[in-house]
Copies of this chain bind each other. A is one copy, B any other.
């Protein structure tokens, strides 16, 4: 019955990539802890680059600088 929350910046992840994240995270819980995949929930949250910061700067600013 695990719950996995994946937060990423909103930068164009495709439906296929999200499906791959859901599959991969579910398999990980099955493989490592023997969890039941049917009750494993994965929620992906996409966050604007203005709203995500690291090192005291937003990702928008870092991307503009070429980081």
The interface size of chain A toward B, counting residues with CB under 8 Å, comes to 51
Q: Using an 8 Å CB-CB cutoff, how does the interface string of A24-48 with B read, 1 for contact, 0 for none?
A: 1111110111010111111111110
Q: Given B3, B17, B45, which contacts A32 in the complex, CB threshold below 8 Å?
A: B17
CB pair A1 B6 closer than 8 Å: no
- A1 near B51 with CB under 8 A, answer no
Hey, which chain B residues are within 8 Å of A55, CB to CB?
26, 37-40
| Chain B residues, CB < 8 A from A19 | 50, 53, 57-58, 61
Q: Find the B residue at minimum CB distance from A14.
A: B50
Q: State which of B18, B24, B60 has its C-beta within 8 Å of the C-beta of A58.
A: B18
Contact A40 B54, CB 8 Å, known A8-B33, A15-B60, A19-B61:
yes
